[in-house]
Structure 1
Amino acid sequence: MLKRIVAHATIYSIWGERNKRLHDGISTAPPTTYRLIDRNIRDTILGKQHIKKTFKNLMLSSLRHD
């Protein structure tokens, strides 16, 4: 489950960065993109933790890898 969330957040952020560069001519620094991906992952886990107990374990797992 965590791998899917990470993959989704990464693809979403890279696609958004691509569109900003292509259409607006604006680029973001890699550390900023990384923080955006990390925030998106944490928000997804926190937003769904009330649904399943699995998401609490995912958050703990995600925090261990920081």
Structure 2
Amino acid sequence: MILKKGVVNEGEYVGWEIEIVDDRAGQTGGFYLILRSKEGEVFDYWFEKKQFLDNQLADFNVQWH
């Protein structure tokens, strides 16, 4: 389930879309942070606990939708 979507406002990934996915009920459990560029590049990061995800999100300035 998608929890949040937004766009990164500054830094290395400025302009990239960001999406937070809750996969606790899925096969992997935990949470995904997905980054997508306009050129089609995609990076995803998996976090076992929400606390770890929140720590990573502190590194991003995001305009959430």
Give yes or no for TM over 0.5: no
User: So what's the TM-score if we normalise by structure 1?
Assistant: 0.28
Of Structure 1 and Structure 2, the greater strand share is in 2
TM-score, normalised by the number of residues in structure 2: 0.28
Greater percentage in helix: 1
Q: Which has the larger radius of gyration?
A: 1
